[in-house]
Structure 1
C-alpha cells in the first residue's frame, strides 16, 4: 500500500531497528510507495514512510529492489556530490563512495553480499544513511 512520505526530521534521525519476517508488509509498502514516486525518486528507506525498520528499496532500471537489514561492509573511492531527498527540501552536499559492498537479506530472508558502483552505489548509501539516522 502506498504510504505518505515522512518529513519529520526527528523521526528521520532515529536509528532503524533490524527487520524481521514480521515486517514483510513494510517491505511491500516501501516498494509500492517508491513505485508511486518513481518519476522523481530512485530509492527509499522505511523511515521515509514512518517505519523505523532497517529496510530500503532502490530502482535498478525498471526493477525496484528491496534490501533488508543492509550493511555496507566495504567502500572505496570517495567523492563529493549533492543529493536531494523526498523527505527534505533542496539539495545538500555529501561524501559518497564509487564502489561499495553490501551485506543484506532478500525478501526470502536469504543473506547475500553484493558489490555496487557509481549511481547505484550512491543510491544505496543514501538509503543506508537513512537507516542509520543520518540525513544529508
Structure 2
C-alpha cells in the first residue's frame, strides 16, 4: 500500500525501534511508496511513512533493495554534500563517506554484510540517519 509521506519533524527525530519479522508488511508498504515516488526519491526509511522501525528501502543500480536493522560498521572517504528529502523542505549540507560497509538483515532476517560505494553509499547513509532520528 502506498502511504502518505510523514513530514512531522518531532516524529522523524525519534530513534527507530528494531525491526522484526512482524514488520515485513511495513517493508512492502515502504517499497511501494518509494516506487510511487521514484521520479523524485531514491531512498526511504520507515519513519518517512509514519512507522518508527529500523527499515530502509532504496534504489541500487536500477534494482530496489530493503534492509532491516542496517548499521554502518566501517566508513572511509569523508566529503561534504547537499541533500534533499521528501519529508523535509529544501536541501541541507551534510557529511557523507564514499565507502561504507553495512551490516543488515534481509527479508528472511538473515544477517548480511556488504560494502557500498558512491551514490548508493550516500543514499544508505541518508536513510540510516533517518533511523537514528537525525534530520539533515
**Matched residue of 1:109: which SS?**
coil
- Structure 1, unaligned runs of 5 or more: none
Question: In the alignment, which residue of structure 1 is the partner of 2:129?
Answer: 129
- After superposing on structure 2, the runs of 4+ consecutive aligned residues of structure 1 that deviate more than 2 Å are none
Determine the C-alpha separation between the residues in 2 that align with 1:61 and 1:129: 21
- Structure 2, unaligned runs of 5 or more: none
1:92 aligns with 2:92: yes
Question: In the alignment, which residue of structure 2 is the partner of 1:9?
Answer: 9
Q: CA RMSD in A?
A: 0.5
1:56 aligns with 2:56: yes
> Structure 2-normalised TM-score?
0.99
Determine the C-alpha separation between the residues in 2 that align with 1:125 and 1:35: 19
Determine the C-alpha separation between the residues in 2 that align with 1:60 and 1:20: 23
Q: CA deviation at 1:108?
A: 1.3
Q: Superposition pairs for residues 1-136 of structure 1, below 5 Å? A: 1-136=1-136
Q: How many residues align?
A: 136
Summarize deviations over 1:36-84 as a string: whole Å, max 9, x none: 0001000000000000000000001332100000000001010000000
> Structure 1-normalised TM-score?
0.99
Determine the C-alpha separation between the residues in 1 that align with 2:123 and 2:61: 13
Summarize deviations over 1:100-127 as a string: whole Å, max 9, x none: 0000000111100000001000000000
Determine the C-alpha separation between the residues in 1 that align with 2:17 and 2:114: 22
Determine the C-alpha separation between the residues in 2 that align with 1:89 and 1:117: 27
